[in-house]
Every structure is written in structure tokens, then in C-alpha cells.
A = this chain, B = another copy of it.
Amino acid sequence: MPAKKSKNENFSPSALRRQREREHRYQTILAAAEKLFAEEGYHKSSMEQLANASEVSVGAVYFYFKNKEDLIIQLMDEIGYLLRKTLGTVFLENGATMESFKLAGHAFFEDFCINYPEKCAIVFRESVGQSPLVEKHRKALFDKCTSDVLGALMAVCKNQGVTFKGKYSAEVIAVSIMGIYERVAYQYLFWEDQSRDLKTIGRDAVAFLLGGVNNLLNETSCT
């Protein structure tokens, strides 16, 4: 048995445990930040409050995160990943069909929004207009989702032999769809708190946007 450790395995048990604990702490703080920012607002939350909520010292927060801005950025990146997975999985499993559009919409409202209202608060409310860097990550998040929607849209069109006229057209529609998601979620999650009915509401919204897409296909295919 060789004594020398190979590069990526056979770490000492204590090193492994430390590694795990580190990751765990990181996630604990991030989760506390998500909750705190969503409940109290990004600006009204102080690093000390966060430290208390995470049950660590202020210094520890700064050990894991560069600064306050970094916290919301990491948060957005994680949420972006989850959101994309939520929507993407649908397209992956169902192919680029109109059905997929519908299911992705349902997934957004019935899965993402209902299960993670705090994550919605972060992306749709707390991260808005904070700083150029945060805005950059926000844009990246939206751009990725938009591009997923756009991809599906193009595929559906291709299936039906439809092409878009304008330079933006398809992209604008993808952006519009994201707009519907965002606004509807915001309205009924934060302003009217009818999260119980979000399923019905979402389905109405999805039906509407599907109509738009459909109409587009019919109209263009007819021409």
C-alpha cells in the first residue's frame, strides 16, 4: 500500500470533515441571508443581524463572503441555477413543444414560486437596482432564462416551419414571457399574498402567453 496520498482522494478524515463543515457553514449563512433579506429587505439587514441569524460571528460572515454585495450575488447565482434547472428540466424531458411551454410555466408558478417565495423575493425584489455588479448578475440570470425560452421558441417554430421577421422578434417574445412570469409572481406573491391560488393564477397567465405564441404560429404559417 502506497503511503503517498494521490492528489484528489485519500484526504485525511479530519481534512474531509473540515471541508464538509466549511461547506455547511457557507450554506447556513447563505440560507440565513436569503431569509433575512427576503423578510427585512437587503438594505435594512445589517451584517450583525445576519451574523446573529446564522449563529456565527460577524468576522465569520466575512470569512465566507467578501462583503455584503457578495452575499446577494452568490444568492442570485444559486437561485439562477435552480430556476434554470426548474424550467430547463421541463424542456429537456418534453422536447421543444407547445406542451413544454405550458409545463415550464406551470413549473415556474407551482414549483418555484410556491416552494421558494423567498428566492423570488431576492431575484424579483431585493436585488433590483442595488449596484452595477449586482445588476450584472441579475441580467445574467434573466438572460439565461430568456435564452432558454428563446431556444424552445425557435425549436417550436422550426417544427412548424415558421420564421420570425424582425431582428428582435423572437427575443422580444422571450423577454415578454419572462416579464409575465415576473410581474404575475410579484403581484400575487408580494402584493396580494394569494400564494394559495398561485396555481390557478399561473395557469391563467400561461394560457394567455400560450395564446400569444399560438397566434403567432397560426398567423405566420398562414401567411
Contacts and interface: CB of A to CB of B under 8 A. Distances in A.
Interface stretch (A13-21, A73-81, A212-220): A212-220
A211 interface: yes
Interface stretch (A3-11, A154-162, A178-186): A178-186
A200 B168 contact: yes
Contact of A125 (B129, B169, B183, B215): B129
Contact of A176 (B184, B190, B213): B184
A212 B204 contact: no
A51 interface: no
A175 B166 contact: no
A43 B178 CA distance: 27
Count of identical protomers in the assembly: 4
A172 B208 contact: yes
A33 interface: no
Contacts of A213: 208, 211
B128 A191 contact: no
Contact of A184 (B172, B208, B216, B219): B172
Contact of A212 (B125, B184, B197, B209): B209
Interface of A: 41-43, 125-126, 128-131, 135, 139, 142, 166-169, 172-173, 175-176, 178-184, 187, 190-191, 197, 200-201, 204-205, 207-216, 219
14 contacts: A41-B130, A43-B130, A125-B129, A126-B129, A166-B204, A172-B201, A172-B205, A175-B184, A175-B205, A176-B180, A176-B184, A180-B183, A211-B215, A212-B212
